[in-house]
Structure 1
Amino acid sequence: MEQSTNQHHGGKDPRHAYYDSGFAKQQQTPPGSTEAMDPRPDHGEESYRGSGMLTGRRALITGGDSGIGRAVAIAFAREGADVAISYLPDEQRDAEDTGRLIEEAGRTALLLPGDLQDEAFCSSIVTQTVERLGGLDTLVLNAGYQRNRDGIDTVPTADFERVMRTNVFAPVFMVREALKHLQPGASIIVTASIQGFNPSPSIFDYAMTKFALVGFTRVMAEDLGPKGIRVNAVAPGPIWTPLIPSTGWDEKLESFGQDTPLGRAGQPAELAGAYVYLASDHASYTSGAILPVTGGKPL
């Protein structure tokens, strides 16, 4: 079902606010692209309206080309932030589309292609953001990699390492570098997952990394609070992004998100407000939080 126009005084019905059926079988080669998805995800291109909550901020978003990262980039720009995004070189087309949306909001877009598995790249994108945008106030550690697993005995070591390096090593490398530049009032936001609380065997190694990121968020909040730096995480449930058709699932797409209390998968646009809140001064007393956006599934 397409987005409903049926409005009640209390707001739109969340069960039918977006596409609420299962998805057709489709597969992509990782990292996947937005253009090939059916239906196309909503990143808030037409709907997000800013109100100046992040005026003058400088943000770096990993995996900012598509999915949740694109939705956050659009929202941050429309709230007044300049935005740097990192992405794999194969995602150049998606990145350029996101860059254009940032610039249409009147803000500076900085595109940073490369692989977060590379420690030197992790450090360099922090440095480039500071040099090109004049500083760094908000770091969004969003990029992630997952693949369907038939069992632990089938996982190639190289692929396991890719999951770990992308999802866990890169955030550590980037925070380590960013601390040279972050000032009191800065915000670090991690994309965790419901998988960090309710893991699925078919993506057990991805789930392991999300457990790690929950711990990382909590311990960094404790460690960096005395420096005036807040650290929080958003824990998405099933969200329709290029990660999903490129995971290696097929039949699972027909029921993807249908087991949530709201009965559907979420759209990237429905995550943006959570990141804006955590980046903004409205969250000045919020640190160490794991904010669930899961369609009602409990963490």
Structure 2
Amino acid sequence: MQKQSEEKKLRPKQKQRRPGKESKMTPVPNTEPVKQENKLDGKVALITGGDSGIGKATALLFAANGADIAIAYLSETDDAKATQEEIREMGRECLLIKGDLSKEVNCKKAVDKTIDTFSKLDILVNNAALHWETESLEEISTEQLERTFANNVFSYFWVTKYALAHLKEGSAIVNTSSVTAYRGSGKLIDYAATKGAIISFTRSLAQSLAPRKIRVNAVAPGPIWTPLIVSTFDEKRVAEFGSDTPMGRAGEPNEVATCFLFLASDDSTYMTGQCLHPNGGEIVNA
């Protein structure tokens, strides 16, 4: 406790007449512009579910900003290889790690392979997710419930647990939640529950890691046009997807990736335990 209180005494006592002069402050506030290019230069990011959709857009944007990328993915090898090729065309390296992250052993393997290849890890993006539409709670089998939580929540715990041995001061963790964590979803009950758990995980982990100066934040996308949508809903739902938002359309993955870049970079050094909401204008109780 004494150490924490000493760390909070950052500035000497001082007083000025209103409105005050910046030049007379001790220390003078830092108002230099934040770096606008290559925000992740020299860093290594592990992104789960990075083969397509939001994960792919984030991987490409991170690479465009100077990062080398490790992508952990479930089964879509063609998508993963296409993403890898795009990243390599940017002059960055990309490691593909295939495996079911609902199994703890594969979470450890994803981190180990990242370290074996790049010798370090600076950014972790927990993004992998699955969902199944059901009409009622009674239709959700125990098998489906366990699989949804194992993939969407347990993997976040496990990957983060093994990554923490390698993350250091200044590292960032960004978790993917969902608008359903805040407003619910009558036909995605188990999925929405996992996304709510991710918000609590983010807030709690942020408090736990603040003394180590590792930031933890989340992104809660609204309806975003990804392969998970067309593989989950019927043709009518797919055709209308996102049309009920205030902006009247679904978002694109690259419109969400910028949130991940912001939270992973030094743009957000004074943010931890927070959540960004790229959702087409829906107001949620954040």
CA offset at residue 169 of structure 1?
A: 0.4
Look up the SS of the partner of 2:227 in the other structure. coil
CA offset at residue 133 of structure 1?
A: 1.2
**Could you tell me how far apart the structure 2 residues matched to 1:73 and 1:158 are?**
31
- The aligned residue for residue 167 of structure 1 is 152
Please give the per-residue CA displacement for 1:24-47, whole angstroms capped at 9, x wherever unaligned: xxxxxxxxxxxxxxxxxxxxxxxx
Identify the match of residue 123 of structure 2 among 129, 134, 138.
138
Q: Does 1:104 align with 2:98?
A: no
- Which runs of structure 1 show a deviation greater than 3 angstroms over 4 or more consecutive aligned residues? none
- The aligned residue for residue 36 of structure 1 is none
Look up the SS of the partner of 1:243 in the other structure. helix
Q: Does 1:208 align with 2:193?
A: yes
- The aligned residue for residue 55 of structure 1 is 41
CA offset at residue 272 of structure 1?
A: 1.3
CA offset at residue 141 of structure 1?
A: 0.2
**Could you tell me how far apart the structure 2 residues matched to 1:250 and 1:211 are?**
28
Identify the match of residue 59 of structure 2 among 64, 73, 81.
73
Q: TM-score, normalised by structure 1?
A: 0.82
Look up the SS of the partner of 1:231 in the other structure. strand
Query: Which structure 1 segments of 5+ residues have no match?
Result: 1-49
The alignment yields a C-alpha RMSD, in angstroms, of 1.0
Bigger-Rg structure (1/2): 2
Q: TM-score, normalised by structure 2?
A: 0.85
Look up the SS of the partner of 1:101 in the other structure. helix
**Could you tell me how far apart the structure 2 residues matched to 1:170 and 1:195 are?**
19
Q: Does 1:186 align with 2:171?
A: yes
CA offset at residue 153 of structure 1?
A: 1.1
**Could you tell me how far apart the structure 1 residues matched to 2:235 and 2:201 are?**
32
- In structure 2, what residue type is equivalent to 1:65? D
* Percent of paired sites with the same residue: 45
- The number of equivalent residue pairs is 249
- In structure 2, what residue type is equivalent to 1:67? G
Greater shift, 121-130 or 149-158, is seen at 149-158
Identify the match of residue 154 of structure 1 among 119, 134, 139.
139
Answer yes or no: is the 8 Å Cα contact 1:148–1:249 preserved in 2: no
User: Bigger relative contact order, structure 1 or 2, given CA contacts below 8 A and separation 6+?
Assistant: 1
- The aligned residue for residue 113 of structure 2 is 128
- The aligned residue for residue 240 of structure 1 is 225
**Could you tell me how far apart the structure 2 residues matched to 1:134 and 1:103 are?**
19
**Could you tell me how far apart the structure 2 residues matched to 1:211 and 1:141 are?**
14
**Could you tell me how far apart the structure 2 residues matched to 1:97 and 1:162 are?**
27
